[in-house]
């Protein structure tokens, strides 16, 4: 991926950092977008921009800035998102609105803002859906519905941009993060998906090696 520019949303979360580290190791220029910029313990990114991904104008301006500074945008990894567990009976409607804002809308806004630049480079979009959206369990309604929105957005954009930009999504199961270990202390994290492994799957879909793949929803479920 040397010479290419990879844009990552939600870039300062666990998966975002793993994807940035892997992309940089492959020689890519990395632009990290998040609601706020924090320090990295590893080598710093080429670009780090704070942006509200719910704001199309601000997100478009960020993409234009990246294009101006790096000369191109070759791939967009839509990692920004959130999670909530609550039942319909005991939960609130606001959580549903929050999940669609964090998961579905951010993917839509970033994709729309990046699309003109990705068309220019014949690039790729890789979204993060969820294996839990294929069949939602108890308490997973809001999260699963918002992630299914991401998955249908992926399929629709793949058709709309066919021959111009490839659009795929990964469907992870539980990701091995400090927060998930805290929330599920009795689970076995050895069977969960490692952030680095998921990052590698996303970068494969963003690479020229996956040039024949578009519209795919790829399960990445570890040993669960």
**Do residues 29 and 46 lie in contact, with contact meaning Cβ atoms separated by under 8 Å?**
yes
Pair of tokens at residue 44: 């710093």
Q: Are 108 and 129 in contact (CB under 8 A)?
A: no
CA dihedral 24, 111, 86, 186 (to 10 degrees): -20
Q: Order across the sheet with 75-78: list the strands.
A: 47-50, 29-34, 5-9, 75-78, 124-128, 166-172, 217-220
Facing residues of 9 across strands?
33, 78
d(CA 196, CA 204): 12
Name the residues annotated as catalytic: 143
Using a 10 angstrom Cβ sphere, with 0-12 exposed, 13-18 middle and 19 or more buried, the burial of residue 43 is exposed
């Amino acid at each position: 991926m040397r010479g290419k520019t990879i844009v990552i949303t939600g870039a300062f979360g666990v998966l975002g950092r793993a994807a940035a580290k892997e992309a940089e190791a492959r020689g890519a220029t990395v632009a990290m977008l998040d609601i706020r910029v924090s320090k990295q313990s590893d080598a710093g990114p080429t670009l780090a921009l704070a942006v509200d991904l719910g704001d199309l104008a601000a997100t478009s301006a960020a993409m234009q800035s990246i294009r101006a500074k790096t000369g191109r945008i070759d791939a967009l990894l839509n990692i920004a998102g959130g999670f909530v567990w609550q039942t319909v009976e005991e939960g609130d409607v606001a959580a549903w609105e929050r999940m669609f804002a964090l998961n579905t809308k951010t993917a839509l806004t970033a994709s729309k803002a990046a699309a003109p630049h990705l068309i220019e480079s014949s690039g790729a979009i890789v979204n993060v859906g969820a294996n839990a959206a294929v069949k939602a369990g108890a308490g997973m309604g809001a999260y699963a519905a918002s992630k299914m929105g991401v998955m249908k957005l992926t399929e629709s954009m793949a058709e709309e941009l066919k021959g111009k930009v490839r659009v795929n999504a990964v469907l992870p199961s539980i990701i091995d993060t400090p927060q998930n270990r805290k929330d599920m202390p009795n689970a076995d994290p050895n069977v969960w998906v490692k952030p680095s492994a998921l990052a590698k799957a996303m970068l494969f879909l963003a690479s020229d090696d996956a040039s024949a793949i578009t519209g795919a929803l790829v399960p990445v479920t570890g040993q669960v």
